[in-house]
Amino acid sequence: MPDSLGVEETDVTDTDGAPEVTTVHAGIIPLLDCAPLVVAAEFGFAEKHGLKLELSREQSWASIRDKVTIGHLDCAHMLGPMVVASTLGVGHVRTPLIAPMALGLNGNAITVSTTLFERLQEKGLDDGDALSGARALKQVIEDDRKATRPPLTFGVVFPFSTHNYELRGWLAGGGINPDFDVRLVVIPPPLMVANLDQGLIDGFCVGAPWNAVAVEAGVGEIVVTKSRLWHNGPEKVLGVRQPWAEAHPRTLKALIRALVEAARWTEQPENRGAVAETLADRAYLDMDSGVLMRNMAGTLPRSLPGSTVKDPDFITFFRDHATFPWRSHAAWFTEQMIRWRQIDQDTDPCAVAERVYRPDIYRDAVRPLEISAPATDWKSEGTGPDHGRFFGNAVYEPNCPDA
């Protein structure tokens, strides 16, 4: 395994003193967006910042959450909404967590079985319209109801996940009630394809590379990618136990620097091969590196042999401030948790976002690097050059005092 190919020199002068501890234990789930953690550990970025990054691959998000809760892991590759849920104490013991950086944007997609895909096409699925699949699905559901067929079942990766809220938002955008018109079940990412193949589910929303894996295996077809549903939409974050973060501020900042540099290196097209080869190893994703390469390049398969779709923003590791923890993302997650009745209806999304997402720590950490961090903590979603790319024609404005 290459060790320090990515880093030319050792430089610890950019820290505000040596890290309090030099070994950091982090958990990862086998998904493409764990790349910054793996690259930081394997290509010398952690060492450059005086750290040894010990990674442990976990089988489920519940396992990540439990090990971070109890302190067996200091931090982890986590779903943004998980950090909010743990801090609020929903679904599990209350554990204050913070997200001082993000681990990329986009990367998800909604995939359905080849049978359901054909039915959606008959009902007017149109590649140019991100919500057309949901409107077509609405008609399929009505047909099924008339024929008294059982409801369709869709898989999401965790109750508190971008995937759950994206799938729900997409369904609702087509006039489908996700709690009554379909059944939603939780399935860990690596098991999604097998469940679709066995006919236990009819579709799913999952992160890279599992959508492409399903298509290449001939069991499903991608209906819509997240970058078309919500351009530059939030994904995983670095979830850190708050007491650990407070006790080790210099270690945390060194870790953020290492991960941000690793994310920048991961994104450079000339490094894709090395990243894909490394992630393909048994210790990480344990799969063919080719599909990882194609995912990183935004080349997605279709079930017709040799046919592909290009989505250059399919997954983003660094550009467009992909590592910055926008508080507007956390506010949206909290609003979704309220919308879908997972938490108290009078929870204040702004207060939650301010407590859980920590752009202040991020800015402080990257200051010594030549990386520009946004000056604001909040932004509108679906505006700018990609206007209207937020669940159809919508724009999301966080309704927070400082936003």
**What is the contact surface with another protein in residues (CB under 8 A)?**
58-63, 66-67, 69-70, 72, 91-93, 157-159, 185-188, 190-191, 198, 200
Q: Which of 309, 155, 169 is nearest to 234 (CA)?
A: 169
- Please tell me the chain's helix, strand, coil percentages from 3-state DSSP, rounded to the nearest 5: 40, 15, 40
Distance CA 403, CA 396 (A): 12
Minimum gap (Å) between residue 62 Cβ and another protein: 4
Of the pair 93, 247, the CB lying nearest another protein is at 93
The helix/strand/coil state of 186 is strand
Instruction: Show Cβ contacts of residue 332 under 8 Å, excluding neighbours closer than 6 positions.
Output: 234, 349, 381, 396, 398
Of the pair 187, 263, the CB lying nearest another protein is at 187
Helices (H) and strands (E) in the chain, counts: 17, 14
Minimum gap (Å) between residue 160 Cβ and another protein: 10
Minimum gap (Å) between residue 93 Cβ and another protein: 5
Distance CA 13, CA 175 (A): 56
Question: Are residues 95 and 86 in contact, defined by beta-carbon separation less than 8 angstroms?
Answer: yes
The helix/strand/coil state of 173 is helix
Of the pair 5, 70, the CB lying nearest another protein is at 70
The single residue listed with the structure tokens 């057309």 is: 132
Of the pair 62, 403, the CB lying nearest another protein is at 62
Minimum gap (Å) between residue 185 Cβ and another protein: 7
Of the pair 59, 399, the CB lying nearest another protein is at 59
Minimum gap (Å) between residue 113 Cβ and another protein: 17
Minimum gap (Å) between residue 60 Cβ and another protein: 5
Of the pair 159, 209, the CB lying nearest another protein is at 159
